[in-house]
Amino acid sequence: MKIALGERWGREGGYRELLVLALPLVLSTASWSIQLFVNRMFLAWYSREAIAAVVPASILNFSTMSIFIGTASYVGIIVAQYFGARQPGRIGATAWQGVYVALIGGVFHALMIPFAPEIFGAIGHDPAVQAYEIEYFMIINAGAFFGIASSAFAGFFTGIGKPWPVMWVNVAGTGVNILLDYLLVFGKGGFPELGVRGAAIATVVAGLSYCGLYVALLAKRHYRITYRSLAAWRPDGELFGRLMRFGLPSGVQFFVDIVGFNIFLLLVGRLGTDSLAATNIAFSINTLAFMPMIGIGIAVSVLMGQYLGADNPAFAGRSVWSGFHLTLLYMGTISLAYVLAPGVFIWPFAANAEVGEMGAVYATVAVLLRFVAVYSVFDTLNIVFASALKGAGDTRFVMYMLCCVSLCVLIVPTYLALIVFRAGIYTAWYIASAYVILLGFAFLLRFMGGKWRSMKVIGEPHPAIVSSHPAVPATEFEP
């Protein structure tokens, strides 16, 4: 076993290659999860109504954004395959097609702002919670373009195997968000106390900072000359169509996944503010572990794309299994901590909150973390194998499977359990856990079927393109 592990470490598609790409992406997604965690921690300190309101409002916003983010971020897969195929001249133009997706998404979200009172009025949460939901939703919708465009720009860097700029941009944006959160939520440093409104403003300003930093990086001479990062800004019908063909199903899948959990949260909210707050805190804690896994998933997608672009499916497959091994080890460790030391994760939320007001909520969170511990282990299948399928271009299968399982295993059973049969919060969490587990096995079986080996999302090489960077290794793989 020691020899086998040593061989896998240094070979193409092995642990070392995956970690070199994944580490900055893990740090990047971890910084984003820290931003989200701190944002919600501050709001939990601010009031019970604030934390109960912001998570549904932000998830509803992210639900509508997700279809655009999922589509725009598929830029990274197309770029990775062009990189592996040694067609650098198509890379800059691909990234800019994602920006046009962001423009469409920005307009769409701006048009949603006037309907916020009707949307949250129909949901029917407590009046105090509802007022905060409307306020937060309206502000963050105004900044939707920045988040979507940042996903496209990030795809440019990850696709060419340069994840460190993505990490530094995310770290900088997280710093901006956390600082503004503290100043504007609580009214520190001479700023007014804006509460939920302050948290929303901080989120929008952080998104603007992400975009500005990415554009500044794209203006560097190397990217301008090698990949035409600025010159290729014009709309390209062929590339935009390719992004829609493969990226839109990925966006729909992302949308359905988020909407499914959003509906789950809204149904749990019918059980009362305490149940909703406990569920929101448990999901927020889970985010700390889940988001770094997203970084490994992105790395798996990129290596899959690069190796398939170079016509080397054997190395692509090895990259996926390397990612699964590392992710399972990571999530197994985190899940054990959820069971053995739940108080460590709950403490930041309880530090500045009233014990009498939130005591029952935190007791429920400790139980919910046991559910999180179990399904998180199986969520490794979702992250790694869904990412692998998308990296190959099998986005329609991922979309269809997620739509089916979300409706039949998560949404309908939760509605029947909570609304029709009046079950409690733990029944809802059993259903959510079954959803994650079943979906993970579906993606694993699809990957093991091997159809991805013959897939590719790019066309034949463009005759005018001359390669100016090393190819991805195309050595044959010995079993």
Q: What is the pLDDT of residue 357?
A: 60
Residue 4 has pLDDT above 60, yes or no: no
Determine the Cα–Cα distance for residues 109 and 60; give it in Å rounded to an integer.
11
Residue 393 has pLDDT above 80, yes or no: yes
Neighbours of 370 (CB within 10 A): 16
Half-sphere exposure of 89 (CA within 13 A, CB side): 7
Q: What is the pLDDT of residue 467?
A: 38
Determine the Cα–Cα distance for residues 175 and 339; give it in Å rounded to an integer.
31
Task: Choose the weakest-confidence range: 17-31, 132-146, 278-292, 342-356.
Answer: 342-356
Segment 395-423 mean pLDDT: 95
Residue 236 has pLDDT above 90, yes or no: yes
Tell me the average pLDDT of the chain: 87
What is the dihedral sign for C-alpha 463, 466, 469, 471? positive
Tokens of 459: 């066309």
Q: What is the pLDDT of residue 477?
A: 29
Determine the Cα–Cα distance for residues 256 and 260; give it in Å rounded to an integer.
6
Higher-scoring residue by pLDDT: 293, 421? 421
Task: Choose the weakest-confidence range: 141-145, 256-260, 401-405.
Answer: 256-260
Residue 114 has pLDDT above 90, yes or no: yes
Determine the Cα–Cα distance for residues 143 and 44; give it in Å rounded to an integer.
23
Determine the Cα–Cα distance for residues 316 and 300; give it in Å rounded to an integer.
8
**Which residues have C-beta within 8 Å of that of residue 376, sequence separation ≥ 6?**
286, 289, 290, 331, 334, 335, 338
Q: What is the pLDDT of residue 27?
A: 85
Q: What is the pLDDT of residue 3?
A: 45
pLDDT tens track for 457-469: 986 555 444 433 3
Tokens of 276: 């909703």
Neighbours of 315 (CB within 10 A): 24
Task: Supply the pTM of this predicted model.
Answer: 0.83
pLDDT tens track for 27-79: 887 787 778 778 878 888 888 778 877 877 887 888 889 999 999 999 999 99
pLDDT tens track for 151-196: 999 999 999 999 999 999 999 999 999 999 999 989 998 898 888 8
403 contacts 257 by C-beta, under 8 angstroms: no
Q: What is the pLDDT of residue 145?
A: 95
pLDDT tens track for 364-386: 999 999 999 999 999 999 999 99
Segment 347-373 mean pLDDT: 79
pLDDT band for 478, please (50, 70, 90 cuts). Answer: very low
36 contacts 199 by C-beta, under 8 angstroms: no
93 contacts 235 by C-beta, under 8 angstroms: no
Residue 349 has pLDDT above 50, yes or no: yes
pLDDT tens track for 422-469: 999 999 999 999 999 999 999 999 999 999 998 889 865 554 444 333
Task: Choose the weakest-confidence range: 220-224, 357-361, 422-426, 465-469.
Answer: 465-469
Helices then strands, counting H and E runs in the chain, come out as: 19, 0
Residue 299 has pLDDT above 70, yes or no: yes
pLDDT band for 125, please (50, 70, 90 cuts). Answer: confident
316 contacts 392 by C-beta, under 8 angstroms: yes
Closest Cα to residue 84, out of 478, 457, 463? 457
Half-sphere exposure of 17 (CA within 13 A, CB side): 23
412 contacts 437 by C-beta, under 8 angstroms: no
**Which residues have C-beta within 8 Å of that of residue 13, sequence separation ≥ 6?**
303, 307, 314, 315, 316, 317, 318, 319, 322, 477
Higher-scoring residue by pLDDT: 33, 235? 235
Closest Cα to residue 410, out of 258, 250, 252, 254? 258
Residue 223 has pLDDT above 70, yes or no: yes
243 contacts 183 by C-beta, under 8 angstroms: no
Q: What is the pLDDT of residue 459?
A: 67
Closest Cα to residue 330, out of 374, 293, 285, 301? 293
- CA-based angle 53:280:342, to the nearest 5? 145
Segment 230-250 mean pLDDT: 93
53 contacts 130 by C-beta, under 8 angstroms: yes
- CA-based angle 78:24:228, to the nearest 5? 40
Q: What is the pLDDT of residue 217?
A: 96
